Amino acid sequence: MEWIYLVLIAVVLVFGLGVVVFGRRRSVSAPPSPAALTPARESRVEVATESALQTEAEPEVQPEVQPEAEPEAEPEAEPEVFERPSFRAKLGKARGALTGAFLGIRGRAGIVDATWDDLEEALLRADVGVRVTAELLSGLRLRVKAKAITDPDALLHALQAEMTGRLAGADRALRFEQGAVGSPNVWLFVGVNGVGKTTTIGKVAALQRSQGHSVLMAAGDTFRAAAAEQLAAWAERSGSEFVRGSEGGDPSSVIFDGVQRAAARNIDLVLADTAGRLHTKTNLMEELRKVRRVAGKGAGRVTEVFLVIDATTGQNGLIQARQFGDTTDVTGVVLTKLDGSAKGGIVFAIETELGIPVKLVGLGETIGDLVAFDPDEFVSALFADI
């Protein structure tokens, strides 16, 4: 019976060992239970949820885009301010031609024959002209004969008053007519070569711009290559528009194009240059007539025709004024280089013999030295040193 107990004990031991071994293998190979996985999943879900909530709660901040600064508009060029020169300061040469004779007359005890000779010579040397000189002295002789004038000082004062009176009453205003929009005023400039016509146009443009007028320059002198470049430089300086044609082209077409452009852009004033015509050439004067006709066609209105004369040419300027006046209906004279001339008396010859008013005079090289002609100030400057 003992062996049976031993067998049973051995079976129990083997069964117990088997149970132990089987249990260990199962614990190693079995997958984790759902309960074990839950905390890890919940942790990951919580992290993801927090991330999503954080994303929704804190949207990505975009950098603020600064608006591009608009480029500053270039300020318009302010018109130049010009200081007007005095006639007395600028007319030293013209005054000098008269002062010597006047001082000699004052040095005499009375009015004698030599007095009249000295006066006549001084006036002729100043290019007052034979006709005007004769008329001035004739009236003074009568007053001396009538005892209205009795001494040299009174005679010179009377001469000054007579010369001033001869220049009084002329209309020297520059004609600028207010018209419909797109109908610009046209000012033509004529004259022979070398009188300073192109420079005068540039100075007039600057002066008109300083008065608030818009200006266009038309380079109608197509026969002199440097003329267009010179006028272009003045246009840039004064802030004016500019029109030019081909070298040697038709001057009339250039001026017509300038007028049309001014009308399209509502520009107030067209300043038209012309070639330096020789007043002895009939065919060239005929071409000037054509320019004058064309300038008045279309939208523009010719309100001024300026004859530019060099004061140093003296009586030759009177010849030019006659010829150009007949050709282009000159409305006014611009007398240049008056500061450098001893022949300022040409003013009297032009106004008295031709009836054309001197409207502008050049008293120097700068823009401000082109000024409106003032007859009282002019004559006073001639007599300033006596």
Cβ neighbours of 384 (radius 10 Å): 14
pLDDT band at 277 (very low <50, low <70, confident <90, very high): low
What is the pLDDT at residue 16?
62
Which comes out higher in pLDDT, residue 52 or 245? 245
Collapse the DSSP code of 322 into the 3-class scheme (helix H, G, I; strand E, B; otherwise coil) and give the result: helix
What is the pLDDT at residue 24?
57
Distance CA 186, CA 38 (A): 99
> Taking Cα atoms as reference points, which of 198, 230, 173, 203 lies closest to residue 368?
203
> Taking Cα atoms as reference points, which of 73, 324, 43, 317 lies closest to residue 189?
324
Q: Are 115 and 152 in contact (CB under 8 A)?
A: yes
Window from 2-11, 216-225, 284-293 with minimum mean pLDDT: 2-11
pLDDT in tens, 73-118: 444 555 565 677 889 988 888 888 888 899 999 988 899 999 999 9
Structure tokens at 247: 């070298």
Q: Which amino acid is present at 16?
A: G
User: Which DSSP string do the residues of 118-177 spell out, in sequence order?
Assistant: HHHHHHHHTT--HHHHHHHHHHHHHHHHTTS--SHHHHHHHHHHHHHHHTTT--------
Distance CA 166, CA 80 (A): 35
Name the pTM for this structure.
0.76
Average pLDDT, the chain: 81
pLDDT in tens, 204-244: 999 999 999 999 999 998 888 788 899 999 999 989 999 99
User: Is the pLDDT reported for residue 257 higher than 50?
Assistant: yes
What is the pLDDT at residue 188?
96
Q: What percent of the chain has pLDDT over 90?
A: 46
Q: Average pLDDT, stretch 280-308?
A: 85
**Which run of H or E residues covers position 308?**
strand 301-310
Burial degree of 4 (CB within 10 A; 0-12, 13-18, 19+): exposed
What is the pLDDT at residue 26?
53
pLDDT in tens, 343-378: 888 899 889 888 899 999 999 888 889 999 999 999
pLDDT in tens, 150-203: 999 999 999 999 999 999 989 999 999 987 788 999 999 998 888 899 999 999
> How are strands ordered across the β-sheet holding 241-244?
241-244, 215-219, 269-272, 185-190, 301-310, 332-336, 358-362, 370-372
Q: Are 190 and 306 in contact (CB under 8 A)?
A: yes
Burial readout 260-277 (b: 16 or more C-beta within 10 A, e: otherwise): bbbbeeebbbbbbbbbbb
Q: Are 106 and 152 in contact (CB under 8 A)?
A: yes
